[in-house]
Amino acid sequence: MQPSGTETRYEAAVVLERRRWRFAFFTNTTDDAWYFDLRADDGSPLVLGLGLSLGVDLLAPYRHLDVPPGFLFVVDQGLGGRDPDVAAFAEQRAALLYLDSEGSP
């Protein structure tokens, strides 16, 4: 279920470091921001409703959980040092980057 004020939602099953994960990325127009949910392949929730923030490893606070072992970042491609707004990815001012646990994209 999407939170109130949500306009856009993208879901994908992704293999990272030989394991499959389910990501859902969604916008919230009320605060003009992006969020994501991360679930195990069986659908069990790991991280829900986490904001996409610039300049931090989004998975770092959750290492005690069974999350992907690498590093997930928002890359500034024209954000001016601000967190991505609703239009940032469509306008290519932001991108997501996953580096595996050995530091390779």
Q: How many domains does the chain have?
A: 1
- The confidence score (pLDDT) of residue 1 equals 42
> What is the C-alpha to C-alpha distance for residues 95 and 92, in angstroms, rounded to an integer?
7
Stated pTM of the model = 0.88
Which tens digit of pLDDT belongs to each residue from 40-91?
Answer: 999 999 999 999 999 899 999 999 999 999 999 999 999 999 999 999 999 9
Percent of the chain with pLDDT over 70: 94
Rg of the Cα atoms in the chain: 13
By residue range, what is the domain housing residue 92?
A: 9-99
β-partners of residue 75 are 95
Which tens digit of pLDDT belongs to each residue from 7-35?
Answer: 788 999 999 999 999 999 999 888 999 99
105 found inside a domain: no
4 found inside a domain: no
54 found inside a domain: yes
104 found inside a domain: no
